[in-house]
Amino acid sequence: MEETIISDLKNIKSVYLDNNASTPILPEVKELMNIYIDKFANPSGIYKAAKENKMAVESARANVARLLNASSQNIVFTSCGSESNNHAIRGVVNGLKEKGKHLITSEIEHPSVLKTFQHMETLGFEVSYLKCNSDGIVKPDSLQKAIRKDTILVSIMLANNETGAIQPIKELCEISHNFGALFHSDAVQAIGKIPVDVKQLGVDMLSLSGHKLYAPKGIGVLYVKEGIELESLIIGGGQENGMRAGTENVIHIMAMGKAAELAENHIKNSQNIKYLKEKFEKRILEIIPKSRINSANIERLPNTINLTLPNLQGELFVLAMDKKGVSFSSASACKAGSKKPSYVLTAMGLSDEDAHCTIRISLGIQTKESEISYALEQMRGVVTNFNSMV
């Protein structure tokens, strides 16, 4: 075993450890996409080639439904996770105005949720933003305190993209339902990494994205429970059961369906990733004095490490590691280039300075033990270099 790692190490030129930003497309997914590039018939047609494409789309829908323990008719294909989040929030609130205009989310959501709620404020809705604790968890009692009779929608993510912190969705959902509010969860980071069962969680809506699940960018899913009135954001034809107009993106839908089918196995094997992550964390703490893992003592995604390296600017560290062929993230990918510290980390109580000195490492199903050893070796070198410059 050790020998294989050592011989692998010699051949490593680059190591990708930013899988929460995006994942590589799996060979099986690529293969299916290649087949559907030439199957161009519009699934709405009544001739054979069109009907075949329609059937293929429905088989992909069934795969996604199976992964979530949902029914096919609950699955709406969208263009990305951001669209799914926008659709869930903007698509239900108008129909619920008679009950009230109060909405609840948390301070640690992805911008596609946070900014949508900020937009709802400009339309006359009132929004409460729940705080998280120092582990990055939104506690059910904070929802219990904020929720009211006129609350119509609560949206809390299943797992945070920066820390991997898994939120107590079942409890949060139960509290929301006790007050007659709908519950949406952004499960973009959770899917394929941990089991996600919409019935067990009790959610009304749930968002997914293809490119975090080894499918390409440009495909997303919104799960919508029966009986929920969802307005279409894109008005036109009656595709997706009237919930999203636009000719189906057959190639990407097939990719998502294949990725969902393969994800069942990845979840079963998630112990391997967790083992590698824990080994990695242990070695990092040994070789980098004063380094700290955030959200270390709570239930986290098996692949995510959020690491504070005091006195080492996260961005400079990531750039130095890039020169050695190792890809990490200094914050969530959507915020790269921003000078502001991560709002997720400051919401957890980290100082601006510590938040600037934090990086995210996210393993993927393709990550090998030899790659972790390589990354560790390079980290040790970069840290020594930084320290000698101080």
Residue ranges in contact with ligand PLP by CB under 6 A: 80-82, 85, 110, 112, 157, 161, 186, 188-189, 209, 211, 220, 334
How far is Cα 170 from Cα 242, in angstroms, rounded to an integer?
29
Residue showing the smallest CB distance to ligand PLP in the complex: 81
Rounded to the nearest whole angstrom, what is the least distance from the CB of residue 332 to ligand PLP in the complex? 6
What letter does residue 96 receive in the DSSP assignment? G
Rounded to the nearest whole angstrom, what is the least distance from the CB of residue 72 to ligand PLP in the complex? 22
| Residue of 80, 132, 334, 357 marked catalytic | 334
Helix or strand run (H / E) with residue 207: strand 205-209
Rounded to the nearest whole angstrom, what is the least distance from the CB of residue 82 to ligand PLP in the complex? 3
Tokens of residue 116, six digits: 């949508």
How far is Cα 369 from Cα 85, in angstroms, rounded to an integer?
35
Q: CB-wise, 330 or 370, nearer to ligand PLP? A: 330
Q: CB-wise, 193 or 258, nearer to ligand PLP? A: 193
Sign of CA dihedral 210, 133, 332, 92: positive
Rounded to the nearest whole angstrom, what is the least distance from the CB of residue 284 to ligand PLP in the complex? 23
Rounded to the nearest whole angstrom, what is the least distance from the CB of residue 382 to ligand PLP in the complex? 26
Q: CB-wise, 64 or 288, nearer to ligand PLP? A: 64
Q: Is 334 a catalytic residue?
A: yes
User: How do 358-362 and 304-308 pair as beta strands?
Assistant: antiparallel
What letter does residue 342 receive in the DSSP assignment? P
Sheet containing strand 182-186, edge to edge, reads 75-78, 220-224, 205-209, 182-186, 151-155, 102-106, 126-130
Q: CB-wise, 78 or 128, nearer to ligand PLP? A: 78
How far is Cα 249 from Cα 33, in angstroms, rounded to an integer?
11
Q: CB-wise, 19 or 373, nearer to ligand PLP? A: 19
Active site (catalytic) residues: 334
